[in-house]
Structure 1
């Protein structure tokens, strides 16, 4: 049987980079061959397959922000690359990767799968921008492409807001391998032994400002409460605002900001925390929470896309509507003060992971999607 050849197009940062690497390192190289087209300044290490072999990659001026000249160059170069390599499928990841993939796929008559990892219009802070971004998504929903949603929430956005027909919306949950070994920290531990944690760059999406409001509320009840916030260094447009707010609210002794943290250190910090906290405005299907499930942690989170796909209220944590500071802080306090709740939520988090988000169990589903797309789209 001939291998199915897949061209991945991606701005490879954050969770999108994690997602692509997990896919490449999990699909069967005897049946699938991949190439990766990504930005010149994103991925810092080589992409490898399941056997540890390097995957062919091509670097283009692919960036998150819109630039007509730069994006047109990317389109032209991508067309040249794909004419030479003749893939059976294009898989576009994130907003920019999806736009390039759909336009190139339409031009070359190659089937396209697009995994938004949170639709771009959700990032708009005003109604006009949201309308424009949503219009773009609708305009490029050509007949030759399908959405491969990373969560049920994302699937519903594709169906009911972007307007894809049901037969062109598929689902493959973001998934990870079981975390079987926790390594020692490679950095100095400068925070107390009892702490809560989160992963999130200061940005509109992650809404760290709300997390600080929650932390102030918690401090009023428990003076030594401490938050370890990881991943605040890369593409953090609100970092200065967050640091100023920390000073203004007198939270310097209650928070540790880690600008860059290896995945192994993240696992260690989550595992040894009291719970995981998310105040995001929206998500695709966040890897940090999937990792928290795999590490058997209670979770307190805002009830938004992505979070609600991973947290069942009063089963493995708490889901809070409407960015309610009081409800978020109350939930955190109830969990850290109750060993029974912590044990219940911890066991159920691990159960949810094993049932739904273990890539060792799920990868065959994605392989079948690739095969069917290559043959029948």
Structure 2
């Protein structure tokens, strides 16, 4: 399979981070695959129509179709495109995203069966979703982790004279950015010198609420807005602990990148994160929305040099398996002709 149609939200706006379709698509193109994409239309209905139309239009050209599959409205895009592919006998490969996708299996079992039982393969970037799908009886799931070019991420030594927290995500309620503000407030109340930088676009209007919260709690937070990959990696050199406050998650690339940058990481224990972070080995995990627990974990790292070294070294070591030079061979194998 050399000609691939990639279905996903190929948006590039101030409200969106770089998506998996843009990252994986570019990596596959660099390996000689021919890709066409749908869709970059911002209007959801037009985007849906364009996705379905491209599945029809390129049905004779495409050797296979990749379909980014999430639990939200995108699930219905994935359903429609998968059925078009079935009609035209084009092999398709759902790529399973979103920590809340298991709930979609419960809510829409018949639609899920039509999508996932009839695919050539279902590709899970996390062992978490792979295990959930297998429990539901889907036996055609393979694990290929989200990939990064590891040589683009330097493990710069960090200074620990004060606590300098870094948060990287889009501002959306499901990622619970308010928790980060409450964490810095509590650290300040404990009389620690602390800084917090939050990087990402405002996806659902949460940023305005967040700025109001900072004023209410009388804390200073640096909001950078959307940054390019190169910009936030350069910025990260000024910070020493990475925090992830999400309520739902699968296999977040931002956390993988933080591991590659050798950050000590504190994350909520949700979805696929316990499959990515081994608690007390290459990061620390805390309960969802538990500010006290996250504060304690941050202080545990800040006050323990040996722990910091262990977490950062182990994180960098584990993330080597996510290097594109490693994972690309798995993509080669699934695109081989039968």
Whole-angstrom CA distance in 1 between matches of 2:300 and 2:141: 39
Other-structure match for 2:184: 215
Other-structure match for 1:10: 8
Mapping for residues 278-297 of structure 1, pairs under 5 Å = 278-297=244-263
Q: Give CA deviations for 1:144-201 in whole Å, capped at 9, x if unaligned.
A: 35320111112123233xx3522x111100010114466xxxxxxxxx9851101122
Q: CA RMSD in A?
A: 2.8
Whole-angstrom CA distance in 2 between matches of 1:134 and 1:240: 37
Whole-angstrom CA distance in 1 between matches of 2:189 and 2:267: 20
Whole-angstrom CA distance in 1 between matches of 2:299 and 2:79: 43
Whole-angstrom CA distance in 1 between matches of 2:56 and 2:10: 21
Cα distance change of structure 1 residues 28 and 175 upon mapping to structure 2, 3 Å threshold: same
Cα distance change of structure 1 residues 249 and 327 upon mapping to structure 2, 3 Å threshold: same
Other-structure match for 1:165: 138
5+ residue gaps, structure 2: 155-160
Other-structure match for 1:90: 65
Q: Give CA deviations for 1:18-75 in whole Å, capped at 9, x if unaligned.
A: 433443343476763222122224xxxxxxxxxxxxxxxxxxx5x3xxx5xx466335
SS at 2:121 equivalent: strand
Please tell me whether the aligned partners of residues 38 and 50 of structure 2 are also in contact (alpha carbons under 8 angstroms).
no
Larger deviation, residues 24-33 vs 242-251: 24-33
Q: Which residue of 43, 49, 54 maps to 1:73?
A: 49
Cα distance change of structure 1 residues 120 and 105 upon mapping to structure 2, 3 Å threshold: farther
Whole-angstrom CA distance in 1 between matches of 2:248 and 2:231: 25
Other-structure match for 2:277: 311
1:256 paired with 2:222, answer: yes
Whole-angstrom CA distance in 2 between matches of 1:237 and 1:159: 36
Please tell me whether the aligned partners of residues 9 and 100 of structure 1 are also in contact (alpha carbons under 8 angstroms).
no
Other-structure match for 2:194: 225
Whole-angstrom CA distance in 1 between matches of 2:20 and 2:47: 23
Please tell me whether the aligned partners of residues 276 and 298 of structure 1 are also in contact (alpha carbons under 8 angstroms).
yes
Q: Normalised by the size of structure 1, how large is the TM-score?
A: 0.77
Q: Which residue of 173, 191, 208 maps to 1:240?
A: 208
